[in-house]
A and B are shown apart, each in its own frame.
Chain A
Amino acid sequence: MKEIAIVGYQQSDSRSDAGAVNEVEMIMPVLERTFAQVGINNAQDVDFVCSGSCDYMQGAAFAFVAGVDALGAVPPIKESHVEMDAAWALYESMLKIRMGHADSALIYGFGKSSPGELPIVLSQQLDPYYLAPLWVDTISLAAMQARMMLDQGLITERDMAEVVSRSRRNAMNNPHAQLSGDMSADDVLAQETYVSPLRKGDCCPVSDGASAVVIATVEKAKEWGVPYALISGISHAIETHNMGMRDITDSVSTRIAAERAGMKAGKVDVAQLYAPFSHQEIILTRALGLGDETSINPSGGVLAGNLMMASGLSNIGEVFNRIISGEAERGIAHATSGPCLQHNLVTVLEKAEKA
């Protein structure tokens, strides 16, 4: 089987409101930087393109098609789209390469969440008969999850505040972060309750932005002559949409995905976990059995900027960045979708052996 590598990653700033900029205007600068990083001209120089976005975010039908205008798609290219985080677009691209249909792929994700009321918009991803008509928003569902954990003694509010504090401090080294600063756990605990038991700091911000990644076979990466990191495993698993049937204090699907992706085969130096709410990072860390040897969310994670449909892909890129800089040898990137960590994808990245 052909080994697959990541060769490029770029992200836009995470902004609370990208203003009048439309999808194609948001994506173009990110792709331009990605192409420059890999040393290619445009999407004509890769074999496959796959994007991740959701038209419900900006409330514009077929907004995802507009993204194609950023690619240089004449003559026609092979292109696909997932109505999911672009981490799943990367998964599709890996399959394309594994099947021998491509040697390289461009993956991009974008989300302009500011035009709508994001927590309410996301209520429409719930089951259409029982939950969506109640308009249960994402923050309320996460608050119920946190309440269960607190009442069962699985976490304390201070544990949650410490996650927020570390995120904000780590984000000080991330030029694209939306929220960063030297905030202590006490500072977080001093905030008033927002949706009990969550404080504003426990919740990811609403963000606009985009990110892009280029992957290729190792042969192709060598031909391009750019630094690369290997993708040694990728897997995803989903739980039922019936919230009452899930143990939402745990993330079984994350654990299964990590096992299948081969996370345990070596040390995990860095883990980028998609936890839109502070307590969810604790759930994920425990489900994955990560300990002190792992640096968690060195970018600040999505508590510092949550690019819907792109942050899962960015997590993969952030681990890639730390491997090619020599900061880490091996790491995992996690992406999530659905309420209370319903659907989870884990990617394992490793340093390439010296050729």
Chain B
Amino acid sequence: MSEEEQEMITKVEAPVYLKYNFTAGSAPTRFLAQIKKGVLAGQRCPKCLAVYIPTRGSCGRCGVPTVEEVELSDKATVQSFTIVSIPIPNNPIEPPFIIANVVPDGANVSFIHLMSECVNEEVHIGQRVQAVWKPEDEWGYSMDNIRYFKPLDEPDVPIELIGKLTVTGEEG
């Protein structure tokens, strides 16, 4: 067969399957054990005193282990958000929906979760929200124990105070 007659190969199928026993780490393990009990547990840096959630085991700022555990509120403040209007492949949630960065009271960093029971167009930075939990008998080792965050009827937090509230929601 001459070169012209050869079919162009545009694809080679070589599926890759690798199996792992993935472990979260010892600090994430402590976090997950607490969320199974319906508790949001942060960890405090011994050096700069920042409280992290969810925890990875170190203060990324200082490079030291975060050992002290701090129980946080399930009330939080919206630090940022986006309205998702297009369907995302393999995501069971129907658009439009809201993904928000929320900082729980007592923590200094935000985590990402969903927002619901709200008027999408009225969601804003500084808005107060609270976790809506699944029924207790459905709790597992997962952030999924919280269905979503819903708006609270509380005054907005000024931008410069977001991520600085105490666990009781006061100025830290």
Contact = CB atoms under 8 A, between A and B. Distances in A.
Given A22-B56, A24-B56, A59 B20 contact: yes
Contacts of A120: 18
A100 interface: no
Interface string A175-215: 00000000000000000000000000000000000000000
What band does the interface of chain A fall in when counting residues whose beta carbon is under 8 Å from B? 20 to 34
B122 to A, nearest CB: 35
Nearest to A22: B25
Given A42-B63, A70-B63, A128-B14, A60 B22 contact: yes
A31 interface: yes
Pick from B18, B19, B24 the residue with the most CB of A within 10 Å.
B18
Contacts of A56: 18
B39 interface: no
A28 B28 CA distance: 16
Given A22-B28, A117-B19, A66 B12 contact: no
A218 B120 CA distance: 61
A256 interface: no
B64 interface: yes
B111 to A, nearest CB: 16
B60 interface: yes
A265 interface: no
What band does the interface of chain B fall in when counting residues whose beta carbon is under 8 Å from A? 20 to 34
B63 A115 contact: no
Contacts of B64: 28, 72
Given A25-B65, A58-B20, A69 B26 contact: no
Interface in A1-32: 19-25, 28, 31
Contacts of B62: 42, 72, 74
Interface in A110-157: 114-117, 120-121, 124, 128-129, 132-133
A28 B63 contact: yes
B80 interface: no
A28 B60 contact: no
Contacts of B20: 58-59, 115-116
Contact of B63 (A19, A66, A69): A69
A138 to B, nearest CB: 14
Contacts of B28: 22
Interface in B133-155: none
Contacts of A70: 58, 63
B1 interface: no
A248 interface: no
Contacts of B59: 69
B54 to A, nearest CB: 12
Nearest to B15: A133
Interface string B10-51: 001010101111111111110000000000000000000000
B79 to A, nearest CB: 18
A72 B57 contact: no
A335 B46 CA distance: 38
A68 interface: yes
Contact of B25 (A25, A42, A43): A25
> Which 8 A-B pairs have CB atoms at the shortest separation, nearest pair first?
A22-B25, A72-B63, A59-B20, A74-B61, A133-B14, A69-B60, A115-B20, A25-B57
Given A59-B18, A59-B20, 20 more contacts: A20-B23, A20-B24, A20-B26, A22-B57, A23-B25, A25-B26, A25-B58, A42-B62, A58-B20, A69-B58, A71-B63, A72-B61, A72-B62, A73-B61, A74-B61, A74-B62, A115-B23, A116-B18, A132-B16, A133-B12
